[in-house]
Chain A
Amino acid sequence: MVKFLIRRLGLMVVILFLVSIIVFSLVHLTPGDPARMILGQEATEESLQALREQMGLNDPLYVQYFSWVTNVLQGDLGNSLKDNTPVLTVLLQKLPVTIQLSIMSFFIAMVIAIPAGIVSATRKGTFWDYFGTTFALSGVSVPPFFLGILLIFIFSISFGWLAPSGYVEPWKDFKKSMLLMILPALAVGVRLSAEITRMLRSSMLEVLEADYIRTAYAKGVLERGVVIGHALKNALIPVVTVSGLQLATFLGGAVITETIFAIPGIGRLVIDAILTRDFPVVQGAVLFMAIAVVVVNFFIDVLYSILDPRIKLTGGQ
């Protein structure tokens, strides 16, 4: 276990190093002058030169990279070009909003996906299976922004049940906060549930073929007991692992959903920063998201190795 942990930790460090190179390259290696890219085509030569000096753009590239990484490791992601606020402060301000959206979306996704996946797998070839798989495929095929707009059109404009946009912190007005977050969470959650339903169905179908399931049936255990007590537990293991990989896609969906519903989370921050060319914020937020994905996947891998000891024998490959 210790060997596996050390190996996996080493792997994470290598990936994080490469992630940092990619994020750094986003601004520094692309064609053109980063200073002009940040300040725009109308910038004067003096302001360009001042920014180049401030960002250390006149130094060799590797010096620039190491000074940037050193700052990042000390928690300094630079300052926003808009109002000079430290990027880390901005990110930490927005983080709780995105976490709230994530928790609610994940809850909705699970509430839909677990029954849908189980029914599809246990009733394979029936109407319910077709219904479940069609729902899952439709959920995967619907663009997140269209789903958001459709939900606003149905629940806000046509029925007038929920507000189309806005955000209130849950500790200020819990009920209002939940009501405002239902539609965005549905927009992200339905899509996520579609992915999980597909994974759970195929994983469940595989598990249901196993000998121990046949044994359980032979012992006279009721179907509900076999499915929920025996099959689901094992079928969920690969689903949890793949869900970790889905985190990246999930964050991408949150970016667009936060924009549609005017939710002041990290996703909206990224879009605003991209559109206003606030590159320190773009770099910081993209790095932050990628680190979140890498770290979550590390913990999922460790959890997986505890749940399924066979993985340690192969060194986690």
Chain B
Amino acid sequence: MEAQLEQKIAVVESPRKRRMKEMSSRFFQNKLAVVGGIFTLLLILMAVFAPVVAPYNPSEQDYAKFLQSPNGENLLGTDELGRDIFSRIIYGARVSIQAGIISVGIALLIGIPIGLFSGYYRGVLDEFVVMRFTDALLSFPPLVLALSLAAVLGAGLQNAMIAIGIIFTPNFIRLVRGEVLSQREREYVTAAKASGISDFKIIFRHILPNCLPPILVQATLSIAAAIISEASLSYLGLGTQPPTPSWGAMLSMGQGYLGDAPWISLFPGLFIFMTVLSINLFGDGLRDALDPKLK
């Protein structure tokens, strides 16, 4: 009986495939979003294949070549220790992308279940504990909270990712809860309840898939924000530790040479900006494709 009903629900939801087609055609019409997506993809490939793409070892010091401006040999110049900036940027992409994905993954892992149960069961726990706790967490300047957490946990990429994950969690709890509140009133949920399907199954098998589009958009945009947060922590010395190349730390190191060798700071900064912009363009395009009303 349960299986039959689920099959029926699946048949009812079959227009989803048609909607997917419409969404993808809307997405591909948005040129800026496509450009953002392509750049992001290239960046991910660059990060994955860093040992192949990078012309030099990012930690290799060459004092004969220190503070060289961009030239044929070192495309983006060298830093104060003679290290190749381009190679360091390529390896830095690994840190940034990893930090973006893992910290948002942490936020999703905590935020989705809490949001789902809170929105589905509501009640005192939802109203007075979960919602007020997210209100309280959102009252802190995110960067300051991340910095304080990173300081308490200890400097390093892993702790920075945990700190960033924690500060992004309330956003996902609120988003998922809001979506569940609107989904739980729909007929398919009433039908599933009437047929005796367990709450757990209703939440994870039926409600969650319907909440995925806004979660996907928020997750994409949060990756961009997480990359800025990690770079900010590394800039202030609480994120990735040397000698691992990270964009934020490169910018910070180069700040002292801004007059003599601006490329040390400006190129990593430009890469952070381009990466975040591309992900934001992609995320915005995704949102417009999924919900054209919001455009």
Q: Which residues of A contact B (CB under 8 A)?
A: 11, 14-15, 18-19, 21-22, 26-27, 30, 37, 137-138, 140-146, 149-150, 152-153, 157, 202, 245, 248-253, 255-256, 259-260, 270-271, 274-275, 277, 282, 285-286, 289-290, 293-294, 297
| In the complex, B144 has a CB within 8 A of chain A | yes
Asked if B147 is at the interface of the complex by the 8 Å CB criterion, the answer is yes
A149 engages B140 (CB within 8 Å): no
B277 touches A150 (CB 8 A): no
Separation of A138 and B252 alpha carbons in the complex (Å):
21
Instruction: Write the nearest CB–CB distance from B253 to chain A, whole angstroms.
Output: 12
Q: Which residues of B contact A152 (CB under 8 A)?
A: 258
Q: What distance in Å separates the Cβ of A251 from its nearest Cβ neighbour in chain B? A: 4
Q: In the complex, what's the smallest C-beta–C-beta distance from B73 to chain A, in angstroms?
A: 24
Distance in angstroms from A184 CB to nearest chain B CB is: 15
Q: Which residue of A lies closest to B237 (CB)?
A: A275
Whether B276 lies near A252 (C-beta < 8 A) is: no
Interface contacts beyond A19-B136, A293-B139: sample of 18 additional A-B pairs, CB < 8 Å, sorted by A: A14-B132, A26-B152, A27-B152, A137-B280, A137-B284, A143-B272, A145-B231, A145-B248, A149-B251, A149-B258, A153-B265, A202-B294, A252-B143, A255-B147, A256-B232, A271-B236, A277-B151, A286-B144
Asked if A18 and B133 make an inter-chain contact with CB atoms under 8 angstroms apart, the answer reads: yes
Q: Are A22 and B136 in contact (CB under 8 A)?
A: yes
- By a CB distance below 8 angstroms, the chain A residues around B265 are 149, 153
A290 near B280: Cβ-Cβ < 8 Å = no
When C-beta atoms are compared, the residue in chain B nearest to A31 turns out to be B153
User: Chain A residues near B251 (CB, 8 Å)?
Assistant: 145-146, 149
A289 touches B141 (CB 8 A): yes
B3 to chain A, nearest CB (A): 39
Main secondary structure of the interface of B (DSSP, over half): helix
In the bound complex, how far is the Cα of B228 from the Cα of A290, in angstroms?
21
Within the complex, the shortest CB–CB distance from B152 to chain A, in Å, comes to 5
Asked whether A18 lies within 8 Å of B276 as measured between CB atoms, the reply is: no
In angstroms, Cα B289 to Cα A263, docked, is 43
Interface assignment of B93: CB less than 8 Å from any CB of chain A: no
Show the binding face of B for A, using Cβ within 8 Å.
Answer: 128, 132-133, 135-145, 147-149, 151-153, 224, 228, 231-232, 235-238, 248, 251-252, 255, 258-259, 262, 265-266, 269-270, 272-273, 276-277, 280-281, 284, 294
**Closest-CB distance, A247 to chain B (whole angstroms):** 8
Interface centre among B149, B235, B238, by most chain A C-beta atoms within 10 angstroms, is: B235
Known: A22-B137, A271-B147, A275-B237. A249 touches B152 (CB 8 A): no
Given A14-B128, A146-B251, A37-B152 contact (CB < 8 Å): yes
Complex alpha-carbon distance, A26 and B255, angstroms: 31
Q: Check A248–B128 contact: CB distance below 8 A.
A: no
Question: In whole angstroms, what is the CA distance A52 to B251 when docked?
Answer: 39
User: Assuming the A-B contacts A145-B235, A146-B273, A286-B144, are A19 and B152 also in contact, with contact meaning beta carbons closer than 8 angstroms in the complex?
Assistant: no
A202 to B293, CA, bound (A): 11
- A137-B277, A271-B236 known; A22-B140 Cβ under 8 A: yes
Determine the residue in chain B with the shortest Cβ distance to A27: B152
Instruction: Name the residue of chain B whose CB is nearest to the CB of A250.
Output: B141
Known: A15-B136, A137-B280, A274-B148. A146 touches B272 (CB 8 A): yes
Q: A149-B265, A271-B147 are contacts. A157–B137 as well, Cβ < 8 Å?
A: no
Set B139, B142, B224, B228: member contacting A19, Cβ < 8 A: B139
Chain A residue numbers with a CB within 8 Å of B238 are: 274
Q: Are A289 and B284 in contact (CB under 8 A)?
A: no
The 8 closest A-B pairs by CB, nearest first: A252-B143, A18-B136, A146-B269, A252-B141, A141-B277, A251-B141, A141-B276, A274-B151
**Residue contacts A-B, CB under 8 angstroms, 27 given:** A19-B139, A26-B152, A141-B277, A143-B228, A143-B273, A145-B252, A149-B269, A153-B265, A157-B259, A248-B138, A248-B142, A251-B144, A252-B142, A252-B143, A252-B144, A255-B143, A255-B144, A255-B147, A271-B147, A271-B236, A275-B237, A282-B151, A289-B141, A289-B144, A290-B136, A294-B139, A297-B139
Residue on A nearest B272 in the bound complex, by CB: A143
* Min C-beta distance of B156 to chain A, whole Å: 14
Name which residue of chain A comes closest to B252, CB basis: A145
Most buried by A among B137, B141, B270: B141
Residues on B with C-beta less than 8 A from A143 are: 228, 231-232, 248, 269, 272-273, 276
